[in-house]
């Protein structure tokens, strides 16, 4: 009886293996769409004269690379019509300006001419407060109380509504980790910002960036974080549109956002 039982198990296992079939899902791929990464970052205590705008296209779901876009004419102009030309590093899709003039509160207009179509966006360069020097650490942080956690602070401006973007570059995480903040409940306060990670070790160098952003970019980036969140209750995937408009053919819109931010940068070595 035992021999017969073992024989039946082997037969069933072989049947399951024989029935295994690789299913190739025929994913519907839309035509490539232009992506304009136009983030102008003026790091405090620098001239901010060198800036970069990247052009690429969307690609298929399984692709690991984003095709670059060459041959565009890219300019940014301020409110006095002073124009700053972004010249491509040949064949890279990176368009570089070396004489940009950043001014907090100034309004700038992006213009991208490509294949007979013109894409534009207008945005204001937003200032940001300093990150306070007294960054604190505790080793009982995080949700479970077992993570290394740091806390940094900034002084919110009480005279206006403020919106912020934060990022932390952690050597144990492949990409910077982002969050958006507003001052709805912290108007004019000294505001703490916490960051923790279960894999942090003593000696790890964290690079903190703190950006001033507009209300519209706050809403835009919040949606990006929502659709990309690793959550047990994920949102429905959707195309998040930015502030860039195709003036020639409205339906042939581009992805991306034209943002201008003053940025404060601090580094912290985990103790």
Position 114 pLDDT exceeds 90: yes
Question: Smallest Cα–Cα separation from 256: which of 32, 92, 57?
Answer: 57
Position 218 pLDDT exceeds 70: yes
Quick: pLDDT tens for 123-163.
Answer: 999 999 999 999 999 999 988 898 999 999 999 999 999 99
Position 2 pLDDT exceeds 80: no
Q: Which residue has the tokens 């001419």?
A: 113
Domain 34-127+238-262: give its CATH architecture. Answer: Sandwich (2.60)
CATH number of 136-226: 2.60.40
Alpha-carbon torsion 129, 149, 226, 93, what sign?
A: positive
Position 201 pLDDT exceeds 90: yes
Mean pLDDT, rounded, of the chain: 89
Reported confidence tier of residue 233, pLDDT bands at 50, 70, 90: very low
What are the residue boundaries of the structural domains of the chain, listed by start?
A: 34-127+238-262, 136-226
Q: How high is the pLDDT of residue 230?
A: 55
| Percentage of the chain exceeding pLDDT 90 | 77
**One fold for 34-127+238-262 and 136-226:** yes
Q: What is the CA radius of gyration of the chain?
A: 24
Q: What is the Cα–Cα distance from 197 to 212, expressed in whole angstroms?
A: 24
Reported confidence tier of residue 229, pLDDT bands at 50, 70, 90: low
Reported confidence tier of residue 227, pLDDT bands at 50, 70, 90: confident
Q: What is the Cα–Cα distance from 38 to 6, expressed in whole angstroms?
A: 65
Position 242 pLDDT exceeds 80: yes
Strand order in the sheet with 136-141: 136-141, 147-155, 190-197
Q: How high is the pLDDT of residue 92?
A: 97
Q: What is the mean pLDDT of residues 112-116?
A: 97
| Alpha-helix runs per DSSP H in the chain | 2-19, 215-227
Question: Smallest Cα–Cα separation from 244: which of 19, 33, 6?
Answer: 33
Are the C-beta atoms of 56 and 94 separated by less than 8 Å?
no
Reported confidence tier of residue 17, pLDDT bands at 50, 70, 90: very low
Q: What is the mean pLDDT of residues 188-201?
A: 96
Identify the top-confidence range among 54-63, 167-176, 230-239.
167-176
């Amino acid at each position: 009886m035992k021999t017969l039982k073992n024989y039946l198990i082997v037969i069933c296992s072989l049947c399951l293996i024989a029935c295994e079939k690789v299913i190739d899902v025929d994913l519907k791929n839309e035509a490539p769409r232009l992506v304009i990464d136009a983030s102008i970052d003026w790091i405090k205590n620098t001239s901010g004269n060198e800036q970069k705008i990247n052009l690429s296209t969307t690609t298929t779901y399984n692709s690991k690379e984003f095709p670059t876009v060459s041959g565009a004419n890219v300019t940014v102009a301020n409110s006095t019509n002073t124009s700053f030309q972004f010249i491509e590093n040949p064949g890279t899709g990176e368009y570089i300006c070396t004489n940009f003039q950043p001014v907090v509160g100034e309004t700038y207009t992006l213009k991208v001419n490509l294949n007979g179509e013109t894409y534009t966006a207008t945005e204001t360069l937003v200032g940001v407060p300093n990150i306070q020097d007294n960054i604190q650490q505790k080793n009982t942080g995080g949700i479970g109380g077992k993570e290394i956690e740091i806390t940094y602070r900034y002084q919110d401006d009480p005279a206006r509504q403020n919106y912020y973007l934060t990022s932390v570059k952690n050597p144990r995480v492949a990409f910077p980790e982002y969050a958006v903040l507003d001052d709805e409940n912290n108007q004019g306060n000294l505001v703490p910002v916490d960051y923790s990670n279960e894999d942090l070790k003593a000696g790890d160098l964290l690079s903190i960036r703190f950006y001033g952003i507009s209300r519209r970019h706050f809403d835009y980036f919040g949606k990006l974080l929502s659709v990309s969140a690793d959550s047990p209750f994920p949102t429905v995937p959707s195309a998040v549109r930015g502030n860039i408009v195709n003036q020639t053919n409205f339906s042939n819109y581009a992805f991306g956002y034209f943002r201008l931010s003053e940025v404060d940068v601090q580094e912290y070595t985990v103790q």
